[in-house]
Amino acid sequence: MTAPTKPPYGGTADSASEHAPGEPLHSPVIDWFDEHARDLPWRRPEAGAWGVMVSEFMLQQTPVNRVLPVYEQWLARWPRPADLAAEAPGEAVRAWGRLGYPRRALRLHGAAVAITERHGGDVPADHAQLLALPGIGEYTAAAVASFAYGQRHAVLDTNVRRVFARAVSGTQYPPNATTAAERRLARALLPEDASTAARWAAASMELGALVCTAKNESCERCPIAAQCAWRLAGKPAHDGPPRRGQTYAGTDRQVRGRLLAVLREAHGAVPQAALDRVWHEPVQRARALDGLVADGLVEPLPGGLYRLPMT
Ligand code: SF4
């Protein structure tokens, strides 16, 4: 991602964007970003495309403050994709720590291996090549192409979707899952010029993260408050399907997290008994362990031993 310094953004000088539907939003949001963007390590030039990719994997389901220390350790240990590719996948799972959703660690490791084998260790700039990497979906390919390489792509994360839902569509929340209509809208809102589009992607995301938050949005600090459809309509209450909650306590996810914590700290194989201690309910515990094995996050060994995956 670009650094939060003044970008080469020239306002509305580009005649091709004169009639773009999103144009009234571009300058206010980008100017706000220039002033208020957080100074995050993956936005600094030295992060490079690999730093951007690592951050995007980590940030997908984990807040910035929890990602920061793990990101710094990760990049210090594996400054290039080839460094990570040379390690066992279990080391990626171990270093992932408590970020949650640890399959992301395996996918990032798989992407590093493919980058090393197919692209000489350099994160490709081409969107189709990014998308062809294992573990990289539409969002991550667009984010890396945009933030690392300054290309023109719609980058739709939950923050951007919420900003567009409110400011443009006039609804409090976007649908639970990204729709084709949202993708069309995001593409229609993109500035024509690539570097401005990349800046817009980062800026609209930051606006959702800092100002147009899911709860208690700060419209008084919002650079597009005067144009926001939802605000101008009097903020009608959400009337779509119930929003998904984020329950954790008592779920299989919690059990999986506890089982993995034992294996991360063990630095070797552990007996079944060590895993049995972390959760009282045997059926749920077995289901969680089976799930970890099926996902490739845990490797069962003869003799009832378990370890993080080595291959
Ligand atoms: S005016 Fe309020 S609701 Fe509308 S985009 Fe800004 S922060 Fe969000």
Cβ atoms of 43 and 143 closer than 8 Å: no
Residues with CB under 6 A from ligand 1: 163, 166-167, 211-212, 217-219, 222, 224-225, 228, 230-231
Query: Confidence band (pLDDT; 50, 70, 90) for 241?
Result: confident
Boundary-marking domain end, from 149, 180, 209: 149
Average pLDDT score over residue span 282-303: 95
Pair 45, 132 in one domain: yes
Ligand 1, atom 5, lies closest to the CA of 167
Cβ atoms of 153 and 127 closer than 8 Å: yes
What is the value of pTM for the model shown? Answer: 0.86
Question: How many structural domains compose the chain?
Answer: 3
What's the confidence (pLDDT) of residue 15?
39
**How much distance in Å is there from the Cα of 33 to the middle of ligand 1?**
15
Residue 241 lies in a domain: no
Cβ atoms of 93 and 105 closer than 8 Å: yes
Q: Which residues pair with 270 in a beta bridge?
A: 306
State pLDDT tens for residues 199-216. 999 999 999 999 999 999
Residue 243 lies in a domain: no
**How much distance in Å is there from the Cα of 36 to the middle of ligand 1?**
16
What's the confidence (pLDDT) of residue 20?
62
Pair 267, 283 in one domain: yes
User: Cα separations (Å) of 307 from 94, 179, 191, 281?
Assistant: 11, 40, 49, 21
Pair 32, 162 in one domain: yes
Residue 1 lies in a domain: no
Edge-to-edge order in the sheet of strand 270-271? 270-271, 305-307, 299-301
Boundary-marking domain end, from 109, 129, 149: 149
Pair 157, 29 in one domain: yes
On the 0-12 / 13-18 / 19+ scale of CB atoms within 10 A, 83 is middle
Radius of gyration of the chain (CA): 21
Told to judge if 56 belongs to the known catalytic residues of this protein, a careful annotator would answer yes
Pair 128, 29 in one domain: no
Ligand 1, atom 2, lies closest to the CA of 219
**Residue 38 in tokens:** 């957080």
Pair 166, 259 in one domain: no
Q: Which residues pair with 271 in a beta bridge?
A: 305
Print the domain residue range for 283.
252-304
Query: Confidence band (pLDDT; 50, 70, 90) for 21?
Result: confident
Pair 59, 123 in one domain: yes
The CATH number of whichever domain residue 142 belongs to comes to 1.10.340.30
State pLDDT tens for residues 246-290. 678 888 999 999 999 999 999 889 999 999 999 999 999 999 999
Residue 9 lies in a domain: no
Cβ atoms of 134 and 112 closer than 8 Å: no
Ligand 1 atom with least separation from CA of 225: 1
